Amino acid sequence: MRRVVVTGVGLICAVGNKTAEVWQNLLAGKSGVGRITQFDSSKHACQIAAEVKNFDPLNFIEKKEVKKMGRFIHLALAAAEEAVQTSGLKVTSQNEEMVGVHIGSGIGGFDIIEREHTNLMEGGPRKISPFFIPAAIVNLAAGHVSMRFGAKGPNEATATACTTSAHSIGDSFRIIHYGDADVMIAGGSEAAITPMGVGGFAAMRALSTRNDDPERSSRPWDRDRDGFVIGEGAGILIMEELEHARARGAKPIAEIVGYGMSGDAYHITQPAPEHEGGFRVMKNAVRDAKIKATDIGYVNAHGTSTPIGDTLEAHAIRNFFGDHKIAVSSTKSMTGHLLGGAGGLEAGVTVLALRDQILPPTINLENQDPGTGNMDFVPNHARKVSIEYAMSNSFG
């Protein structure tokens, strides 16, 4: 099997519009959660979100093209632009067929769907934009990125809820493994902070309603957590066959060595008892990597700040690692939950933790839930470490 390395990272979320800013603010324990500004949320049960701030798509996209794309596409293009730049990748006529794109989204263009539905209701079918469908459907983030860079290799888009971009990265790992591409631009993007998006998740009773204290609302594993905070953004990695990277003088940031998948076959939203699916997927990833659980020094957890999900993920991690004392943190405490974009963002964060040998904290962890045992959730402050392997969990 061919070895796969990461040579570029592009991250955008509520704590920064560039990777360096995101990483600096995560290590500083800065929350990106605030009152919703993208629409009037005064009638909503949840009025808080982790919005990307001061983002201008015109920095990346021609003005006439902006309205032809949903916000999730804007964010994907921004993150991909940075990832490609930092990797030094050049797509040419010589390599274009071996450079692919795999970028997913859990929901896609909710903003466009809502906008065009309003146009339909107010003006009839003739008021629907001819760009409605291509602006909204999930695969057009990958499509636009491939067109931007001229990447003519595999072109895919996954939609598996909150595991979406973890699947995109893992599947790209396999694509390079098997020689279908030498390079993959992979990850995910999400922009579902809309009246229907927030209202829908609130109707499921999944969201925090700590409206008067937004920065402290996302609190994974804290006794007083009351739901997740919806976030937006994108996380894109440049993944590359090792020898291809060496041949062009690229410096690998990290190597991807294992990928695991599983399904619960249990319930539409609730994890199976004891999170046996989470246990199984970690086992599968470690087996694929041909390492031992005790080799792993850090887990960037799914850790959404929901009462059931956090407890069960803690059980799965504790059951899998046993007596091995593992450091675990949830950066969703700062970024909110990017849904289909979460896995890409958090894989990028995990790569940076390995690069710099420092772990981002779980903030707002003031009273650790007794049901999580004595686990080490890197509470409230970043920590310097010496580790060789790290794992990123995404559950949908």
Q: Residues 162, 167, 275, 315: which is the catalytic one? A: 162
Measured between alpha carbons, how far is 60 from 66 in angstroms, rounded to an integer?
A: 9
Tally helices (H) and strands (E) across the chain.
Answer: 13, 13
Measured between alpha carbons, how far is 98 from 248 in angstroms, rounded to an integer?
A: 14
Residue type (1 letter), 268: I
Measured between alpha carbons, how far is 76 from 15 in angstroms, rounded to an integer?
A: 16
Q: Residues 74, 244, 302, 315: which is the catalytic one? A: 302
Angle at 248 between CA 242 and CA 254, to 5 degrees: 35
Asked if 103 and 345 count as a contact pair (C-beta separation under 8 A), the reply is no
Tokens of residue 129, six digits:
């934009």
Residue type (1 letter), 59: N
Does the annotation mark 46 as catalytic? no
Going by C-alpha positions, the residue among 347, 160, 123 that lies closest to residue 256 is 347
The helix (run of H) or strand (run of E) holding residue 369 is none
Does the annotation mark 302 as catalytic? yes
The sign one gets for the Cα dihedral 333, 338, 340, 343 is negative
Does the annotation mark 162 as catalytic? yes
Q: Residues 144, 167, 244, 337: which is the catalytic one? A: 337
Residue type (1 letter), 98: M
Q: How far is CA 80 from CA 66, 146, 147, 189, 304, in A?
A: 16, 10, 12, 10, 25
Measured between alpha carbons, how far is 173 from 137 in angstroms, rounded to an integer?
A: 24
Measured between alpha carbons, how far is 322 from 316 in angstroms, rounded to an integer?
A: 10
Q: Which residues are catalytic?
A: 162, 302, 337
